[in-house]
Amino acid sequence: MSKVHEIYKAPLPFSLAPPLPPIIPTNPITWIPYIYYYLFSRTPKQIPVQCSVDVGTLSCLVTDKESIKRLWTSGFFGKGNLSRSEPTWHVRTKRSLGLLGFDEDLVAEEITARRRLQRKRFKAQRAYREQCARQRQLCIERGEEVPDYLKEDAELPKELTEPLSSSLSAQNPSEVTFVPELEHLQLTFPEAFFLSSLGTLVVNGTDNFSSTPLLHVFAELTAKSPGFITEIWNEFPGTSFSQLDPSNYIRPDNTFLVELAAYYYFRQQGWVVKGGTKFSVDYLLYKRGPVFSHAELAILLLPCIGDYQKQNLKWHELHCLNRTIGQVKKTLVLCYVQCPAPEKFKDLWQRQKNMDPWEWSKLILSNYSIQCVTLRRWVPDRNRD
Amino acid sequence: MNKESFKPIEVLHTLATYPFFGALKAVETDLRLGQQWDELKIHMLKMYSEKERPLLSGIPKTGLLQKKLQYVFPVLLQETISIKTLTAIFDSMKKQNLLLVQDERGLSGKESYIYLGIVCSDSTVVYYKVTDGLMKPRQNDEN
């Protein structure tokens, strides 16, 4: 358990101080580095991680193994595209092809799979014993002698006692000897922007990256994505994107901006924020990380411009969602993201030309505010509080 | 799994400029490497009068899907899937004479089904089964 605490020590991939030599209280010479850094402290320069934009899935991809490890172990950023959370496809594939031992360096998915098999085996054994007990009872009632195989201490059939490793055995009919590294770490746009603002990530990709602020690039890519395009086509029929000024189709409730505002809000409070699609919500919040405990909160984002809410829930949708979240022992939180009014937003967007990119991004974000409402089902005659 | 499984299927790169390529690539990669399906193929469906959309077909590894041909339609999470889209998929499949997979729990026994592969930007792919018709209710003793 302490190994986990050691590996996932750092909350963010950001080093606050350079590593200092050990201090010995009785030897004044060892005090000198500490005094020096106390008087002349400067945040060390961060070594950024490289990533590239994937426009088709609105994400950023990291392929370097060391970078992936660094991003995952300090703050649980990103997700392996072929794994449940941390990229483990390489190890699992090698094991399924027999290129890795049965119990060597097990990863999360394999531990879960084995546990499930053990439980299934245990249930099968229990069901068999219960059936034997029933048949024994019938024999006794009929006054017959209980046969040997039905007796209480009889042996279980072979299928229920053979080792579990046989059902997880490796299969390599084509005799593959080498498995390439085909998995990458995928970061969502809010994650990539957050890391970039810390100086830990450099986003490489399409043209005009150096001149345009990252916030603008991500908002534009999101607005132009095929999923959202029909809205814009309906409003500006017949035009192509090159003719339109971005401020015409980047709305205050642009999905990227709303998600970013909420992401920043929760990350600043120390939560680890991950995607919540599997529970039909937007975000899942972990107290320290997926490795330590299950997610406590399930966040649903509801963007509002002034009093207007683009998407609202009908009573049965909210009820259904609340039941689903309650069933998995999480708490539903409705997160209302208050976006600036369209005129103000347009004005703020124009200021891009005169401001430093990060100052401008800060200005845009500061105009978004968050209000959270927690929902819990309450039955008057069950709960006494 | 063999050496060929480590490379995307030939046809894939020809669709690179296509609008829904991101979703198609993510689902193809997950089926080929993550779920280890065999014999993956892409079929282009002419969805009523709209632009064409790809449909993936393949044979799953052993497990609950019993090594039968299955279809997966890649979709992005932010898309709205209307009844029009779903009927367009089934009608295009019939028109283009694709071998339909029948749902054994269908009411008349002739309903076919596909899977929707919903791609999220954090790389999660969620699969949903869509049957074009009513299904018989599940019996209590079925898993």
Which residue did the predictor score with more confidence, A205 or B26? B26
CB < 8 Å from B in window 186-205 of A: 186, 188-189
C-beta neighbour count of A153 within 10 angstroms:
5
Read off the pLDDT of residues A87-135 as tens digits, 9 standing for 90 and up: 999 999 998 888 888 888 888 899 998 999 999 999 999 998 898 889 8
Contact A176 B26 (CB under 8 A): no
In chain B, the number of structural domains is 1
Q: Is residue B69 part of a domain?
A: yes
Distance from CA of A55 to the nearest CA of B (A): 7
pLDDT of amino acid A384: 65
Rounded CA-CA distance A167/A90 in Å is 21
Other CB atoms within 10 A of residue A358 CB: 13
Residues 6+ apart with CB under 8 A from A332: A281, A297, A298, A300, A321, A322, A325, A326, A374, A375, A376
Asked if residue B140 belongs to a domain, the reply is no
Assess if residue B108 is contained within a domain. Answer: yes
Quickly state the pLDDT bin for A385 (edges 50, 70, 90). Answer: low
| Alpha carbon separation from A366 to A154, A267, A358, A380, B121 (Å, rounded) | 72, 15, 12, 41, 25
Question: Whole-angstrom Cα distance, residue A181 to residue A27?
Answer: 50
Structure tokens that stand for A198 in this block: 């810390």
Helix, strand and coil in chain B, % to nearest 5: 25, 30, 45
Which is more confidently placed, B2 or A267? A267
Confirm whether B30 is domain-assigned.
Answer: yes
Give the residue-averaged pLDDT of A327-341: 95
Q: Specify the pLDDT at position A197.
A: 93
Q: What is the pTM of this model?
A: 0.89
Mean pLDDT of chain B: 88
Torsion of CA A132, A134, A140, A145, to 10 degrees: -20
* B61 within domain boundaries: yes
CA distance B14 to B16: 6
User: Using a CB-CB distance cutoff of 8 angstroms, which residues of chain B are in contact with residue A277?
Assistant: 77, 118, 120, 122, 124, 126
Give the CA-trace dihedral at A63, A66, A72, A73, to 10 degrees: 180
- By Cβ distance, the residue of B33, B34, B76 closest to A227 is B76
Cβ contact, residue pair A81, B123, below 8 Å: yes
The two three-digit tokens of residue A97, written as one number? 């092809």
What CATH number corresponds to the domain at position B63? Answer: 3.40.1350.10
pLDDT of residue A1: 61
**Angle at A41 (CA atoms; ends A37, A42), nearest 5 degrees:** 135
- The verdict on B68 touching A (C-beta cutoff 8 Å) is no
Q: Please report whether residue B29 resides in a domain.
A: yes
A287-312 average pLDDT score: 91
State the residue range of the domain holding B29.
6-132
3-state helix, strand, coil split of chain A in percent (to 5) is: 45, 15, 40
Q: How far is CA A254 from CA A218, A249, B79, in A?
A: 10, 9, 15
Q: Is A45 helix (H, G, I), strand (E, B) or coil?
A: coil
Contact list in A for residue B16 (CB cut-off 8 A) is none
Q: What class has domain A1-82+184-205? A: alpha beta
The predicted pLDDT at position A239 comes to: 65
Q: Where are the domains of chain A?
A: 1-82+184-205, 88-182, 209-375
Averaged pLDDT score across all residues of chain A: 88
State the Cα–Cα distance between residues B131 and B133, nearest whole angstrom: 6
> CB atoms < 10 A from the CB of A92, how many?
20
Label residue A176 by pLDDT band (50, 70, 90).
confident
The 10s digit of each residue's pLDDT in A18-71 is: 777 888 888 888 888 888 888 887 777 788 999 999 999 999 999 999 999 999
Q: Does B77 touch chain A (CB under 8 A)?
A: yes
Task: Grade residue A260 by pLDDT with cuts at 50, 70 and 90.
Answer: very high
Q: Which residues does chain B have within 8 Å of residue A79's beta carbon, measured at their own beta carbons?
A: 122-124
Contact A109, A215 (CB under 8 A): no
Q: Quote the ipTM score.
A: 0.90
Let me know how many helices (H) and strands (E) chain A has, helices first.
Answer: 13, 11
| Residue B2 token pair | 């063999």
| Topology given in CATH for the domain delimited by A209-375 | Trna Endonuclease; Chain: A, domain 1 (3.40.1350)
- Give the whole-angstrom CA distance, residue A13 versus residue A73: 8
Asked whether the beta carbons of residue B77 and residue A226 sit closer than 8 angstroms, the reply is no
Question: What pLDDT is attached to residue A230?
Answer: 62
**And the tokens for A89?**
């496809």
Higher pLDDT, residue A236 or A292: A292
Q: Which of A82-91, A172-181, A310-319, A326-335 is the least confident region?
A: A172-181
Beta bridge partners of B129: B115
Q: Is A92 on the interface with B (CB under 8 A)?
A: no
Low pLDDT (below 70) residues in chain B: 50, 65, 141-143
